[in-house]
Structure 1
Amino acid sequence: MTTSDRAAAGEPPAPRNPTAPTTPHIEIDSLAAGYEGQRVLDVDRLSIRRGEFLSILGPSGCGKTTLLNSLAGFVRPTGGRITLDGVDLTDVPTHRRGLGLVFQNYALFPHMTVADNVAYGLKVRRVERAERDERVTEALRLVGLEQYAGRRPRQLSGGQQQRVAVARALATRPAVLLLDEPLSNLDAKLRREMRVELRELQQRLGITMVFVTHDQEEAMSLSDRIAVMNGGRVEQLGSPTEVYRTPATRFVAEFIGAANILEGVGAADGSLVVGGARLDSGLASLRDGVPVTLAVRPERVVVAPAGDAGKETDTDATAGPDAFPGASARRGSGIVGYRAFTGEAWQAQIVVAEGVAINARTAQEPPAVGAPVSFGWAPDDVIRLGDLPEDAPLLRKPAA
C-alpha cells in the first residue's frame, strides 16, 4: 500500500527506518544555467535523497531560485543534466516531470473555490471526475481544510491559502514537491506555525521536498540537509548541525549565524594578532607568524565585567574567577560599544581596539555601553576556517 493509499484509508504512513541507507532520488550533475548569456548557476554535483527535506539556502542572487526552476523545467540548462530515479529530465517539459510546485505567491485562482483550485492540476491532467474528487478530498484532509472546500481564497487567512497551495500540489501525487519561499508572505508568528505543519506533513507522507529560502532560521528548523549557495555554486551541503558547527567556508560561517570572523597572524603560544589587538585564541595549534582565519559564534562568547571600575582597565584587565564557567577562559578585553535586547537574548558588541570588535549574544544583561568588560570562549567553540596566504589583507572588524 502506497503512502497516498494509506492516507486515503485513514491509516498511518508506513514506518521509516532512520538507520536504513538513504537512496538518491534526484541527481544533478554539472548543471549550468544563465540569462542573456550571463551564467548564474554552476552546480558541480548535488544528490537529493528520497524522502528528505532539503533546503536550498542563500542570499538574493545566489542562484537558488534558478536551481529550483531548472528542476521544475521553467529554466532550460545550458549544460549538465538532472535525473529523477535514473531518468534524465533535462529536456522533459514541466508538465511531464511529475513534480509538485508551490509558489511564493501561492498562485490561487480568486474566482475558484478551494476545491476547484486543488482540482485544477488534475483537470489539466484529465483525471476522471470520480478519482479527481477523491484526490481533492484526500489532499484537503492532509492539510486540515476539508471544511473550507467551498470557500474562495479571499475568504481564507494567509496560512490557509498557503495550505491550499500545498494541497493542490499534493493532489497530483508528485514524486517530489518543490517549494519556492512559500512562507515569506506570512507574518512571523504564522510563519513559525506553518513550519511545524509543513515539516510534520512531509514526515507523515515521506515525500521528497526541495525548499528554497533565504531565511536561515527557516532552513535550520525544517531541513534534513541544507545546500548553502553562493555565486551560483553550492558552498556546503550538510545537516543543519554540520553547516552551523563546522562551516566549510568563510561565507557559510558568516551567512549562517553571523559568526565573528577573526583574520590575523598566529603565534605558537596560541595568541592571535588581529588588527591592533592580541587575543588568546584558545588553540594550541597555531603556527608562529602564519596568517589564519578563525570563527566564533556570538552565542559562544562569554562576557563579564572587567573588575572594579576604579582600577586601571587596559587589555590585561581580568574578570572574576567565576566569570568564565566550564571550559571557557578569558581571551581578551574591551569596552561595550553597543548593546540591545532582542526579547530572547541580549546582543552586545565589544570594541577591543580601533576597528576590532567582537559580537556576543547572551541571556545575561551585559554591562552598560562604555563599560570595560572581558570576554572568553572555550577552545571547542573556535572554528578554524584555514590558513590565509601570507599577503592576504586582514579583516579588522567582524560583521555585526
Structure 2
Amino acid sequence: MTTITTEAPNVAGAIETVESHLHPTPSWDAASHPMPTGREEIWRFTPLKRFKTLLAEGGEVGTLDWSADLPEGVTVENITAEQARALAVEAPSDRISAFAARDAKHRTHINVPANAELGEPVVFTATGRGGEARDQVIITVGAHARATIVLRYTGQAHYAEKTDVIVGDGAQLNIVTLQDWQDGSVHGGQRSVQIGRDAHVKTVTASLGGDIRLQENSRYGGPGGELESYGLYFVDAGQHVQHRLFVDHNAPHTKSNVDYRGALQGKGAHSVWIGDVLIRKVAEGIETYESNKNLVLTDGCQADSVPNLEIETGEIAGAGHSSSTGRFDDQQLFYLMSRGIDEPEARRLVAHGFFIDIIRRIGVPEIEDKLLAEIERELEIVHGSTRTKADEQ
C-alpha cells in the first residue's frame, strides 16, 4: 500500500492522509518518481518502450504550437514554475507529469474571470510539429462563471503534459479534450480538476490517434460540487490507449458520474481503463457511479477494464460501478438485418448507437461532427478500407 497525502483540507480543516495501492505519493521532485519497471501497479498495463521518450531524462524538449481566439475577459499568460505550483490542484503523481512540470518551456495560465458567461466555446488547438514537447497548463474559472473550453491536440509529437483545472464556487464548466494525433505520436500526462462548492463540471475526453496514457484526477473544493466525466476512444491495430481515473470524494454531499466507452479493431489494439472512486470518511451523503463499456470489432484486440470503489463511510446516498467488454450484440444486428438493412450498415448503426450518448453530451457541434466522421472512418477500416489518419491529413 502506498500513502497519499492530500494538500487540500477536508471540511474540518485538517490535512487527511489515506492509503491506496492505486496512486503513488504526489511530488514535484522528479527524483521521487523513479523509472518504472512495469511491475508497479500503476504501470503494469503500460508498454513502457512506447513511452520511453516521455520517461527519459535529457534530450531536446520543445512545446506545441498553441492557438486560440479568445473572447473578451479571458486571459492567457505565461507564468513561472513557482506560480504554477501555487495555483496547481496537486503535485505530479507519476514520472511523465513530473518531467512535464519540470521541463516545460512554457507554463501557461488560462483564466476565466468570476461571473463571466461565455456564449461560445473557447477552443485551443495545440499542434505538434514532430519531436518531443512538454507543457504545463493551469486553467482557472472564477466563481459563478459559465464556460466551455476545448483543448484539441493534433499533428505529431511525443508529448507530456501537466494540466490543472481549478473551478470556483458556483461555477459551471464544460471542458472537452480531443486527442486527435497522427500515427506515431505518443501522449502522456496528468490532468487534475478541483470542483468548487456547489460548482458543476462536465469533462469529455476523446482519444482517437497515437499511443496515449492519461491520469485524470478529480477532487472537490467544498460540499455540493458535481462532476460528470465522459470519455470515448477508438483504438486501431497496434495502438495503445490508457485512461486512468481517480475521483476523490473529499467533501460531503458531492456527486460524480463517470461513463467511458471505447471500440477496438485490428491486431494488437489495446485499451486500458482504470477507474477508482475514493469516498472518504468525511464524505457523507455523496452519490457516485462509474461505468466503462468496450466494443470489440475484430479479433486480436485486448480491453482491460478495472473499476474500483474505496469506501470509508457507510453514510452515503449511493455508490456503484460497472464494466463490460463484448462484440456486437447479435440480437441488435439480427433485428436490423431482418428489416432489410445489410450487415455493414447494421454494424455502423450499432456503433453509432454505442457512442452517440457520449457525443451528444459534448455541446460543441464542430467537435461532435468531427467525432461522428471519425467513427465513420474507423468503421470503413473495419470493413476493408486501407485508409489511415495520415492519408487524410
Q: TM-score range by the shorter chain?
A: under 0.3
Give TM-score, length-normalised by structure 1.
0.24
Which has the larger helix fraction? 1
Q: Which has the higher contact order (CA 8 A, sep 6+)?
A: 1
Which has the larger strand fraction? 2
